[in-house]
């Protein structure tokens, strides 16, 4: 695959040259004052992107999955009950992680194409008279189905039920690309990674942690070593790590946060909405539809396109890769083969997006899909022309 072509997967995303250069640095003593000049701006920049003034930022050398593990292992004990809805592959994987940590997961099953069921979550919490549920888990952006959940709505449900549970949110494929408000939405642990909205290589798990969550560390009994918040916080006091950090990636993270903040978060979110809506216009012109069941659920970072009966979405991804050197995402779990995914987050522009749509059309035409070449591209062009600002 040519490295001249952008990728259209929902992460890892394209890396701007400025961030590639920021990560490409000579070895640095991570216990020296020089490291603090990298580390402090990275932490402060991430706080602003997460929109938190009260939360602490903890950065692990890991991916988003490490952030999931850190969230549960620092705040919960074996046998604790957590509440989660399963409506896609990544909500499923977080549930699986909790079960492997010997947590009792109360699962609300929801259709793949729907978001976190706010009313059902509220009812489950109201029914929990003894407050056995210690944490509520929500996936902001279900990357497998292209579905955005109502994270503020889940917070309101917790409050309406008068329940003291912690609130953990997977923002891996949303933070830095879609509006995210850690403080306003009362999130106790927000989780993301370096490889999506922050436009960096994978390698940093980002956790925003509230004071309420930090207080739970005193009684949490799940084992933790590498992902121990306390060890990290003690080392942070001297501007360092309890072990070797990913120095180059942290330098890139500081630059990435500055890039996002300089563009303006509202502008970043508007750019992602515009790119996403152009893709959705193209999908409609192809006679297809997103996997997300209604417009209020549409993700602005990834669209899972439902392919016609008798076709396999994975074939589109394979054809685009092998013939045209362009990457799209395959369907996962319950929607494997039923969809292909177009990522539209991170370092992308309208013009780059048009090249991805054109490639998808060529791959579909090669496979005998009932589409007209140029139809989706033209629909997206019309939208982008009329919605530049």
Edge-to-edge strand list for the sheet holding 56-60: 56-60, 205-209, 189-193, 166-170, 133-139, 81-86, 104-109
pLDDT (tens digit per residue) in 159-188: 999 999 999 999 999 999 999 999 999 999
Q: Which tokens go with 65? A: 């999955």
Per-residue DSSP letters for 189-211?
Answer: EEEEETTSTT-S-S--EEEEE-H
Could you tell me the domains of the chain? Answer: 17-261 (3.40.640.10), 265-386 (3.90.1150.10)
Query: CA-to-CA distance for 117 and 79, rounded, in angstroms?
Result: 24
Query: pLDDT digit string (tens) for 357-389?
Result: 999 999 999 999 999 999 999 999 999 999 986
Q: How confident is the model at residue 52 (pLDDT cuts 50, 70, 90)?
A: very high
* Reported pTM: 0.96
User: Are the CB atoms for 149 and 293 separated by under 8 Å?
Assistant: no
Core vs surface per residue 47-62: b (16+ CB within 10 A) or e: bebbbbeebbbbbbbb
The secondary structure element, H or E, covering residue 283 is: helix 265-285
Contacts of 339 (CB under 8 A, 6+ apart): 145, 291, 304, 305, 306, 307, 313, 331
Query: Is residue 3 scored above 80 in pLDDT?
Result: no
State mean pLDDT over 50-65.
97
pLDDT of residue 126: 98
| pLDDT at site 344 | 97
Note the pLDDT of residue 389.
66
Give the model's pLDDT for residue 388.
Answer: 80
Mean pLDDT of the chain: 96
| Cβ–Cβ under 8 Å, residues 83 and 112 | no
Our CA dihedral for 288, 291, 292, 298, rounded to 10 degrees, sits at -60
Q: What region, left, alpha or beta, does residue 310 occupy, with left being phi > 0 and alpha being psi -120 to 50 degrees?
A: left
Q: Is the N-terminal amide bond of 2 cis, ω within 30° of 0?
A: no
At 131, phi and psi to the nearest 5?
A: 55, 45
| HSE-CB for 120 with a 13 A CA cutoff | 14
Reading the block at residue 79, the tokens are 């046998």
Degrees (nearest 5) of the Cα angle 14, 18, 22?
105
Considering only CA atoms, which of 263, 90, 63, 268 is closest in space to residue 176?
268
The residue assigned the tokens 């090249």 is 355
């Amino acid at each position: 695959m040519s490295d001249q072509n952008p990728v259209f997967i929902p992460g890892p995303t394209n890396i701007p040259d400025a961030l590639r250069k920021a990560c490409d640095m000579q070895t640095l003593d991570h216990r020296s004052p020089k490291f603090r000049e990298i580390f402090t701006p990275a932490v402060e920049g991430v706080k602003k992107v997460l929109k938190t003034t009260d939360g602490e930022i903890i950065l692990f050398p890991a991916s988003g999955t490490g952030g999931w593990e850190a969230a549960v292992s620092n705040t919960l004990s074996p046998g604790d009950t957590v509440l989660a809805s399963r409506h896609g592959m990544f909500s499923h994987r977080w549930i699986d992680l909790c079960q492997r940590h010997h947590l009792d997961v109360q699962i609300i099953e929801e259709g793949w194409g729907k978001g976190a069921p706010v009313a059902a979550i509220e009812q489950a919490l109201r029914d929990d008279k003894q407050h056995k549920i210690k944490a509520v888990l929500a996936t902001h952006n279900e990357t497998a189905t292209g579905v955005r959940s109502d994270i503020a709505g889940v917070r309101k449900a917790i409050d309406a039920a008068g329940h003291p549970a912690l609130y953990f949110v997977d923002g891996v494929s949303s933070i830095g690309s879609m509006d995210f408000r850690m403080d306003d939405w009362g999130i106790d642990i927000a989780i993301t990674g370096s490889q999506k909205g922050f436009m960096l290589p994978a390698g940093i798990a980002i956790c925003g942690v509230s004071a309420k969550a930090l207080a739970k560390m005193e009684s949490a009994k799940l084992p933790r070593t590498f992902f121990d918040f306390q060890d990290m916080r003690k080392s942070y006091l001297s501007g360092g790590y309890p072990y070797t950090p990913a120095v180059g990636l942290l330098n890139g993270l500081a630059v990435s946060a500055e890039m996002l903040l300089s563009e303006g978060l509202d502008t970043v979110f508007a750019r992602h909405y515009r790119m996403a809506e152009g893709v959705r216009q193209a999908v409609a012109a192809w006679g297809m539809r997103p996997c997300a069941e209604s417009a209020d659920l549409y993700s602005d970072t990834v669209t899972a396109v439902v392919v016609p009966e008798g076709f396999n979405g994975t074939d589109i991804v394979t054809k685009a890769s092998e013939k045209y050197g362009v990457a799209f995402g395959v369907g996962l779990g319950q929607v494997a083969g039923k969809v292909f995914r177009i990522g539209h987050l991170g370092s992308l522009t309208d013009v780059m997006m048009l090249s991805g749509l054109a490639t998808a059309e060529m791959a579909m035409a090669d496979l005998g899909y009932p589409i007209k070449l140029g139809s989706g591209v033209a629909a997206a062009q019309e939208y982008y022309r009329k919605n530049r600002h």
